[in-house]
Amino acid sequence: MTSSSSGSLDASVAARLKRSSDGLVPAVVQQHDTGEVLMLGWMDDEALARTLATGRATYWSRSRQEYWIKGETSGHRQWVREVRLDCDGDTLLVKVDQEGPACHTGRRTCFDADRLTVPGHADD
């Protein structure tokens, strides 16, 4: 989609990746220094390859069915510091430096607004 973002996924990484039936893997996105969980995105092989090659977090939008470079329109870019694959090869952890809010609502994270009740911890 952009001239700087092509490249295929390293074969050894591709071999370790376990994708869901739609070819995607969930990517948990965490602010590298504070530990805040910012959002969850989805990557296919190409999105992961672009993320690793460019250092800019790139996802597959399931609703729009297209690649999406975080911050490309909003300016709220994610600079990738580290990518980890979990023990089963079916989840990514992407540690980033987030510019501004990660959430399209303007909140810092996508998990800031809706807290469910857990008995015994309502007042934490």
Residues that bind its own copies (CB under 8 A): 13, 16, 26, 28, 30, 34-37, 39-40, 52-53, 55, 80-89, 91, 93, 103-105, 107, 110-121, 124
Between 41 and 67, CB nearer to its own copies: 41
The nearest distance, CB 67 to its own copies, in angstroms, is 18
Closest CA to 65 of 107, 5, 22: 22
Q: Which residue has the tokens 């952890």?
A: 93
Give the Cα separation of 46 and 51 in Å (integer): 8
The nearest distance, CB 44 to its own copies, in angstroms, is 15
94 in Cβ contact with 39 (< 8 Å) = no
Rg for the chain, CA atoms, rounded: 15
Between 75 and 118, CB nearer to its own copies: 118
Between 66 and 86, CB nearer to its own copies: 86
